[in-house]
A and B are shown apart, each in its own frame.
Chain A
Amino acid sequence: MSTSTNTVSTRTAGANTAGEVVLDVSDLSVAFPTEEGLVQAVSNLSYQARLGRTLAIVGESGSGKSVSSMAVLGLHNPKRTRITGSIKLDGLELVGAPASTFQKIRSTKAAMVFQDPQSSLHPFHKIGKQIAEAYQAHNKVSKQIAHKRAVEMLDLVGIPNPQRRANQYPHEFSGGMRQRAMIALGLVNNPKLLIADEPTTALDVTVQAQILDLVNDLQKEFGSAVILITHDLAVVAETADDILVMYAGRGVEKGSAKEVLAQPSMPYTYGLLQSLPSHSEDLDELKAIPGAPPSLLNLPSGCSFHPRCQFKDQVPGDACFTQLPEWRPTPGLSNREIRCHLADPVATLQLDEGAR
């Protein structure tokens, strides 16, 4: 891995750039002042995304996955949002950066694909025109060349008859095709970072498989970093390299995606995996984590997960209730970090799994 002062000279990842950190988020906090008080949506979040790799961000509904990613692209209203900490994209600090900086980085350095492609495609403009305009915004080229590029992109994402399709409107595309068009739009300027927020949640599994294959192929071709936000842990198992698990605005476990899913080492991650239907086949009840996510207006003291954690009595004293667990390597596992006070989480969780 090269140092962050090393600039990347080529867009396509060669052996020298793959693995390089392109997004470095550290100590990021995002809060929304509201009538009821300050909503602490993201607290002291740190993670890195690397070229050529896919980072999955998973966690409870409302844990700050979308809010933190939107901060990377400057999509929050600065007047109504308090953002602190640091977001470095390709070495450029984005926290506190002016709107013009975000305009520049959006689509050239970073792009986002949302769950609902309808929200990011203009309903009254032809698909090809939208892609061509995005290309022209950052490249001094003629309309004809931009249009040609748009058709190429549609072809690249596997849309049949791209010439003809470029002249159609979003409503004439099926859901899966619209999602492809969104990806084409996101990738037209070869961004180094692609954030896909629930890109396939609304699609059936066959289309989902096509879209995920597509993202994987494009990643290989362009060598970009991909952040995949999803609730579907099977998708993570099949597509991600790294994983960050979030709870109540904080990261709570990180490591290799496959390893974390095969052997979680923090009680929330463990509870999440136990909730899957595949863990309770033929049982009448799924093993949900009891209780509700905490209020972000008033986060629990100590470990945010303590009101729902069944293992807190195994931590001596009142650490779970009073001390925020700091990141530390999971004892006995390499390449794994957690925020949890348990002395030997692997053994504790294994014992529980065996007892079930």
Chain B
Amino acid sequence: MSDQTLLKVTDLQRHFPFREVQGLKMVRATVRAVDGISFTVKQGQTLGLVGESGCGKSTTSRLVTRLDEPTAGSIEFEGRDITHLKEHQLRGIRRDVQMIFQDPYSSLNPRHTVGSILTTPLKVHGLHKGKEKQRVQELLELVGLNPEHINRYPSEFSGGQRQRIGIARALAVEPKLIIADEPVSALDVSIQAQVMNLLAKLRDELDLAFIFVAHDLGVVRHFCDQVAVMYLGKIVEYGDKKKIYEAPEHPYTQALLSAAPDINVARGIAPKERIRLVGDVPSPIDPPSGCRFRTRCWKAQDVCAQQEPPLVAAEADISTRGRREGGLHLQACHFPEVKTDLVAEVEHSA
């Protein structure tokens, strides 16, 4: 992993305006889907994006890939500001930043063969001219599919194999950054493991950077270097994986980690303490004042409704193992407090 910053996102916002009928009136309202977030991704690095359903993870993904345009803030890719580039100016970005989608069933055109699905991006970007077929075969081999299957249709592959086709398509144009939005959640754990292994291998071999969106905290912990926890359009905690998992300071992160189900219960190991959040996520149309988590936070005080807590360096930058460590750890709570033992100690079977 080099130290080169690939992606720099600053105060990014995406507000969706819409009209709503209230009684007899039409009123204008705004969904504040992403509301001022900042993060960076270095070459070869993997950032995990986790958080409540509807907190803005997919919207962030679409902004970074510039499939959507931000309302405010900036996105820099390799030092170049791409925030408001027009489609014709985005050619390079369309190649350098690729997306892998959640659903391996609907993201591939059922009427096109695998060969044509993989050839299209090569043609669009004028890559491997005249040798497209050879490149497609290479790609299939790279993702562990049989190159003889080049003339098959997506329906003739299993879910895991289809996800590999989606990965091959993303890799076809030799990107530098891949945004994977829930790439394995529809797959069984064994196929999940195959796909994760493949992504990890490619990351190492090609020095790829990833933004990895997922609900499965175990998968994120395995795959990511850094994690950003989002709540209602904001990042509430952000840092090195170890810090987020082993010494989280923000109450929402703690609730999230503690809610993850634990398979060790099957072995008679008592379930760990659970923080149960009550109530629903407030609407991003009318988010709570001050700290957005305050309507569900058990620690909320008056100041939480008055002042928005900024994302600042975490209280303790000492790991639970007692060693003093550097590294990134930011949190946004007026009353941060380290909580350990929220994730089960993992037994080592090796």
Contact with A along B161-198 (1 / 0, CB 8 A): 10000000000000000000000011111111110110
Contacts of B50 in A (CB 8 A): 204
- Beta-carbon contact of B271 and A238 below 8 Å: yes
Q: Are B197 and A286 in contact (CB under 8 A)?
A: yes
Indicate the member of A59, A61, A271, A272 with the most B CB atoms within 10 Å. A61
Complex formed: what's the CA distance from A293 to B194 in Å? 12
Minimum CB–CB distance from A228 to chain B (whole Å) comes to: 12
A167 CB, nearest partner CB in chain B, Å: 12
Is A206 in contact with B186, judged by CB distance below 8 angstroms?
Answer: no
| A278, B193: Cβ atoms closer than 8 Å | no
Closest chain-A Cβ to B278's Cβ sits at a distance in Å of 9
- With A276-B189, A277-B218, A293-B158 already in contact, the answer to whether A234 and B197 are too (CB < 8 A) is no
Q: Which of A137-145, A169-177, A182-190, A316-324 contacts B (4 or more CB under 8 A)?
A: A169-177
Q: Please determine whether A277 and B219 come into contact, CB atoms closer than 8 angstroms.
A: yes
Query: A175-B53, A356-B350 are contacts. A62–B218 as well, Cβ < 8 Å?
Result: no
Q: Are A237 and B52 in contact (CB under 8 A)?
A: no
B259 touches A208 (CB 8 A): yes
Query: Nearest Cβ in chain B — how far from A288, in angstroms?
Result: 4
**Across the interface, which residues of A come within 8 angstroms of B82, CB to CB?**
none
Residues of A within 8 A of B346 (CB): 278, 281
Is A205 touching B215 in the complex (CB atoms < 8 A)?
Answer: yes
Selected contact of B191 from candidates A60, A203, A210, A280, CB within 8 Å: A60
For chain B, residues 254 to 280, give those with C-beta under 8 angstroms from any C-beta of chain A.
Answer: 255-256, 259-268, 271, 274, 276-277, 279-280
Verify B265–A238 contact, CB threshold 8 A. Answer: yes
Residues of B close to A70: CB separation below 8 A:
none
Cβ–Cβ contact B188 & A60, under 8 A = yes
In the complex, which residues of chain B have a beta carbon less than 8 angstroms from the beta carbon of A212? 261
* Residues in A whose Cβ lies below 8 Å from that of B297: none
- B52 to A: closest C-beta gap in Å: 5
Q: Which residues of B (294-350) have their CB < 8 Å from a CB of A?
A: 344, 346-350
Asked if B276 contacts A204 (CB within 8 A), the reply is no
**Cβ A288 vs Cβ B197 within 8 A:** yes
Closest B residue to A178 using CB positions: B53
Collect the chain A residues with CB atoms within 8 Å of residue B115's CB: none
Interface size on B, residues (CB 8 A): 56
Residue B6 at the A interface, CB < 8 A?
A: no
A92 at interface, CB cutoff 8 A: no
Is B133's beta carbon under 8 Å from chain A? no
Q: Given B186, B274, B277, which contacts A201 in the complex, CB threshold below 8 Å?
A: B186
Q: Nearest chain B CB to A323's CB is how many angstroms away?
A: 24
**Chain A residue, CB-CB nearest to B223:** A277
A:226-269 near B, CB below 8 Å: 231-235, 237-238, 257-259, 261-262
Per the bound structure, the CA–CA distance linking A235 and B263 in Å amounts to: 7
Please tell me if A160 contacts chain B, counting CB pairs below 8 Å: yes
Q: Is A289 on the interface with B (CB-CB < 8 A)? A: yes
Known: A60-B188, A231-B187, A284-B200. A276 touches B53 (CB 8 A): no
Write the nearest CB–CB distance from A306 to chain B, whole angstroms: 16
Q: B248 interface residue, CB < 8 Å from A?
A: no
**B121 interfacial by beta-carbon distance below 8 Å:** no
Determine which of A160, A280, A288 lies in contact with B194 in the assembled complex, contact meaning CB atoms within 8 Å: A288
CB pair B263 A234 closer than 8 Å: yes
Q: Is the CB of B222 closer than 8 A to any CB of chain A?
A: yes
Task: Name the residue of chain B whose CB is nearest to the CB of A354.
Answer: B349
Known: A61-B158, A261-B266. Contact between A277 and B260, CB under 8 A? no
A283 part of interface (Cβ distance < 8 Å)? yes
Task: Annotate B203-228 by CB proximity to A: 1 below 8 A, 0 otherwise.
Answer: 00000000000011111011000000
Bound together, the chains give a CA A221 to CA B281 distance in angstroms of 26
User: By the criterion CB–CB under 8 Å, are B267 and A262 in contact?
Assistant: yes
Complex contact A272–B265 (CB within 8 A): no
Chain A residues whose C-beta falls within 8 Å of the C-beta of B190 in the assembled complex:
60, 271-272, 275, 288-289
Contact partners of B263 in chain A: CB under 8 A: 233-234, 237, 261, 276, 278
Interface flags, A82-114, vs B, CB<8A=1, else 0: 000000000000000000000000000000000
Closest 10 CB pairs of A and B: A288-B193, A286-B193, A261-B266, A234-B261, A61-B159, A275-B193, A281-B346, A277-B222, A237-B266, A288-B194
Q: Which A residues have a C-beta under 8 Å from some C-beta of B?
A: 36, 58-63, 160, 174-177, 201-210, 212-213, 231-235, 237-238, 257-259, 261-262, 271-272, 275-289, 292-293, 353, 356
Would you list 23 pairs from A and B whose C-beta atoms are within 8 A, ordered by A residue?
A: A62-B159, A160-B280, A176-B53, A201-B215, A203-B53, A204-B53, A205-B256, A205-B261, A209-B261, A231-B185, A231-B192, A237-B265, A238-B271, A258-B265, A275-B193, A276-B189, A276-B263, A278-B263, A286-B196, A288-B190, A292-B158, A292-B161, A356-B350
